Amino acid sequence: MDSKSEELYKKCELNAESGDIMGACQVMLQLMEAKKIEAAEDMDQTYLEMAENMKPEDVRKVLEIALKIRESGEIKDTELKNAASKLIRAIEMS
């Protein structure tokens, strides 16, 4: 993991309860569900269920998904890539 990602994870842990961050997580998860995009293998619930039951401890998992989406060459959906970038920026700015 590079130092930038490590810094994001630390900020994520400190500010996971932020309304902006939680909201950005929910938007991204709802988009993933609506567009039927899979980016995480080890999910024990659907993206929609995760969005509806969002807890601060889930933010790190959603950040991991957002980083995968942003870096993925396979995922071409610009709306989803923008949502992932917004989440990452919200964490960076926290």
Which pLDDT tens digit goes with each residue over 56-93? 999 999 999 999 999 888 999 999 999 999 999 999 99
Domain boundaries, the chain: 3-93
Which pLDDT tens digit goes with each residue over 15-65? 999 999 999 999 999 999 999 988 877 778 899 999 999 999 999 999 999
Largest CA distance in the chain: 33
At how many degrees (to 10) do helices 59-71 and 78-93 cross? 130
Which pLDDT score, from 0 to 100, does residue 42 have? 77
The DSSP H or E segment spanning 73 is none
Which pLDDT score, from 0 to 100, does residue 88 have? 95
Query: pLDDT: is 42 or 4 the higher one?
Result: 4
Query: Is 5 within 8 Å of 48 (Cβ atoms)?
Result: no
User: φ and ψ at 68, to 5 degrees?
Assistant: -65, -45
**pTM higher than 0.95 for the full model?**
no
Which pLDDT tens digit goes with each residue over 7-16? 998 998 899 9
